[in-house]
Amino acid sequence: GISKETLDKFQIRYDRISDRLVYPIRNIKGEIVNIGGRAVNAKWKEKGQKKYCYFYSWGSIDTLYGLSDNIENIKKKREIILFEGCKSVLIADTWGVYNTSALLTSHLNRNQMKMLAKLGCRVIFALDKDVDISDDKNIAILKRYVNVEYIMDTKGLLSAKDSPVDKGEDVFIELYRTRKKLK
């Protein structure tokens, strides 16, 4: 469900050796700081693979996936929608939603929090259904500097581990439309 245009925009490739989709992870300047990989074989566990990997070790993730690609749209809309993983950014991009980025994890770290505060726009957390952002100390700090909203599935539209884009565009639009402000 990801368009060829989106795959090209984000330079997604297939690596035969590791049987993974691979993608560059860029800093805000557009410089590659790491390469991510996602297993494509459904039997990745049986093969002893990790579902996700990075080709270089991180100390602490100091970027947001897709930010450099979408920065102009984020600034224009004065809003950034944050997902956990890059797949959600790619799906949203295919639908024409260009103000997204991904944490590459389920929580906001201090480096990412500072980047978002500097952006100065509304931040909407669209994390997987099983993540409760109220426990995240860096999000609590971020809301001192910018408006913070979040997507919450109160109607049972998603399964336990789903991203807000996993059930299709109509479900995402409904979840986005009913987002809540973090108090």
The pLDDT-based confidence of 135 (bands split at 50, 70, 90) is confident
Contact call for residues 63 and 27 (beta carbons, < 8 A): yes
Share of the chain above pLDDT 90, in %: 83
3-state secondary structure of 87: helix
The structure's pTM equals: 0.94
Contact call for residues 78 and 122 (beta carbons, < 8 A): yes
For residue 94, report the phi and psi dihedrals to the nearest 5 degrees: -60, -35
Q: Per DSSP, what are the bridge partners of residue 23?
A: 36
**How buried is 155 (Cβ within 10 angstroms: 0-12 exposed, 13-18 middle, 19+ buried)?**
exposed
Instruction: Note the pLDDT tens digit of each residue in 10-57.
Output: 999 999 988 899 999 999 999 999 999 999 888 888 988 888 889 898
Contact call for residues 38 and 52 (beta carbons, < 8 A): yes
pLDDT for res 31: 95
Give the whole-angstrom CA distance, residue 12 versus residue 4. 10
pLDDT for res 96: 98
Helical (H) or strand (E) element with 110: helix 110-119
Two tokens at 131? 């993540």
One-character DSSP codes across 38-74: EE-STTTTTTT--SEEESS--SS--S-BTHHHHHHHH
